[in-house]
Amino acid sequence: MTPSSSIPTPVTPRRSFDLLAEEVPNPPAIADLFGLVAARPGSSLLDADPWATNHWRATCFGYDPFLTFSAKGQEITILQEGRLRRLTGDPFRHLQTLLQQFGDITPVREFPAAGAIGYFGYDLRHHLETLPAVAVDDLGLPDCVIHFYDLLFWFEPGTGRLLVTSSGLPLPPGTDRERRARERLQEGLDLIRQARMIARSTPPDLPHTEAPLESNMSKAYYFKALEAVLEYIAAGDIYQANISQRFATHFSGDPWALYRRLRTRFPASFGAYLHCGPFHVLSNSPERFLLVEGNRISTCPIKGTHPRGMTVEDDARIIGHLRRDPKERAEHVMIVDLERNDLGRICQVGSVHVEQFETIETYHTLHHMVSTVAGILEEGIDPIDCLRATFPGGSITGAPKIRAMEVIDEVEPTARGLYTGAIGFIGFSGAMELNIAIRTAIVTGGRIYFQTGGGIVADSSPTREYDETLLKAETFFRTLGVGVGFGR
């Protein structure tokens, strides 16, 4: 799509209570538009590959949040219009109360229209279950960071349409909120006008780094960890556990430039870029965690991975083997059953069902086996209730979930932090869409960290599982120009 030289004649904004929305046809490229605000702390992008089988319902971004909610352990920080409040307690409960304060916004068409974007780190599990915390939290980043937006940009995958929505929050309903909504909508249109004046840019060619690539586990340590997990499985203590290793290297470049290169080379179904002030999040996730639309909820666990072949014939053979592989299928069935159980905690009796089973999705470097589990929510269940019932996702913990998380903490040397948590959007009207934070990097303190893992079952081969972690890290290896063949 070639951007035109001027913004099209605007259509009359459609008002839905206190929400203004304006459609802009033939918008500028998403990377060019978001690139104008990517350097601002608090900017967030949920980035869909429109050609993928499953993806974000819409590419969405916001900047200049009117409120930022973050938590570390029991310590909660709320930053609103320059004022800082500190609270203590359960972050899920405080966030739930905060979201409900802005629930008077009605969605526009199929878009949630107004809401928050951010992440929920894996270690929020401590607020849901009594679990050990042996692994070292060496990065010390917040357990969650959620940005609340009054101005959002929505791109419909595949159609090229853009909708800009403005709510006027956090002002209360009335003339002042309407005035703020119109002013902010105009700011959004001005940003689009500015992007149209910029020639479509290409991702920069990042320099190859000679910095060594490190892991939080040596190969021998990883094998020892898997031996311990296999002993637990043989004893009947668990059936499956997802074990990961974390890679790190020096990085002093522009995180947005790195993400642009990543999304161009390896577009993801559920990509994301979050500027969280002193650190950045770059997600290349292929997996949907939760989608809440009205009273319907669904989850799409991934379990089962094989590498891509060199030819179409190779791929067909590999996919056939993946479908028939007893180890991969057993692993997949266990997690589908776990997800059915999790959804059953918040859904109407008899409504939870498997919509799609063992579908194969193909990406640049690998094939994945995916299923979709869905149900109808009980009356009065909101997004945070859904999160409490299902977090963290079963596909990246194991079965049974609580015991698997105890084993993970025992054998992985460093706390997971954001990794295998969730990133996404929570609408003030009750909609929600989250990914599983896999294939996800953190840039902080002049270094970049990214973590990959796999499900361990009774007949897992340590060598094969180790190689799978390298395969899943390959998108970052290639984008950074380091570590291809690491550990082999």
Q: Which residues are catalytic, by number?
A: 287, 303
Q: How far apart are CA 368 and CA 362, in angstroms?
A: 6
Q: Torsion over CA of 435, 439, 440 and 446, rounded to 10 degrees?
A: 180
Q: How far apart are CA 397 and CA 125, in angstroms?
A: 11
Q: How far apart are CA 178 and CA 165, in angstroms?
A: 13
Determine phi and psi for 44, rounding to 5 degrees. -140, 140
Q: How far apart are CA 113 and CA 423, in angstroms?
A: 18
Determine phi and psi for 41, rounding to 5 degrees. -55, 135
Asked if 357 and 320 touch (Cβ cutoff 8 Å), the reply is no
Q: How far apart are CA 253 and CA 401, in angstroms?
A: 38
Q: How far is CA 166 from the centre of its chain?
A: 24
Here the tokens at position 64 are 């200049």
Asked if 156 and 138 touch (Cβ cutoff 8 Å), the reply is no
Which ranges of 217-311 does DSSP label H, i.e. alpha helix? 219-234, 255-265
Query: Residue 440 pairs with which residues in a beta bridge?
Result: 283
Asked if 452 and 366 touch (Cβ cutoff 8 Å), the reply is no
Here the tokens at position 441 are 């990097």
Asked if 95 and 101 touch (Cβ cutoff 8 Å), the reply is no
Report how far apart, in Å, the C-alpha atoms of 171 and of each of 19, 95, 147 are. 12, 19, 16
Q: How far apart are CA 475 and CA 267, in angstroms?
A: 10
- Closest to 152 in 3D by CA, of 163, 137, 141, 140: 163
- First-to-last C-alpha distance (Å) of the chain: 43
The secondary structure of residue 420, as a DSSP letter, is T
Q: How far apart are CA 359 and CA 443, in angstroms?
A: 33
- Closest to 291 in 3D by CA, of 276, 280, 282, 301: 301
3-state secondary structure of 35: helix
